[in-house]
């Protein structure tokens, strides 16, 4: 069974050198999104001339009269 990182590495390997790509990792707080992003970046960043890891952290809440969702 392949791990998430291995699946993402496979996807990155299929990219053309001239191709630009953005990977968005979404999910609930505390499930390891940042850990996955950093691990993948460390593994594949040497395959490219340049790279950037940008962490955009935003907490979205929706309020209603019955409470916070």
**What angle separates helix 4-13 from helix 33-44, to the nearest 10 degrees?**
40
Residue 53's alpha-carbon distances to 18, 41, 66, in angstroms, are: 18, 7, 38
pTM of the model: 0.61
Q: What's the pLDDT at 59?
A: 60
Question: Of residues 58 and 40, which shows the higher confidence score?
Answer: 40
Q: What percentage of the chain carries pLDDT values higher than 90?
A: 0
Lookup: tokens for 29: 């707080």
50-55 average pLDDT score: 70
Q: What is the pLDDT of residues 17-44, one digit of tens each?
A: 677 778 888 888 888 888 888 888 888 8
């Amino acid at each position: 069974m392949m791990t998430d990182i291995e699946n993402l590495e496979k996807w990155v390997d299929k990219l053309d050198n001239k191709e630009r790509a953005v990977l968005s990792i979404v999910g609930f707080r505390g499930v390891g999104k940042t850990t996955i992003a950093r691990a993948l970046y460390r593994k594949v960043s040497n395959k490219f001339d340049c790279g950037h890891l940008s962490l955009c952290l935003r907490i979205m809440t929706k309020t209603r009269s019955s409470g916070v969702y």
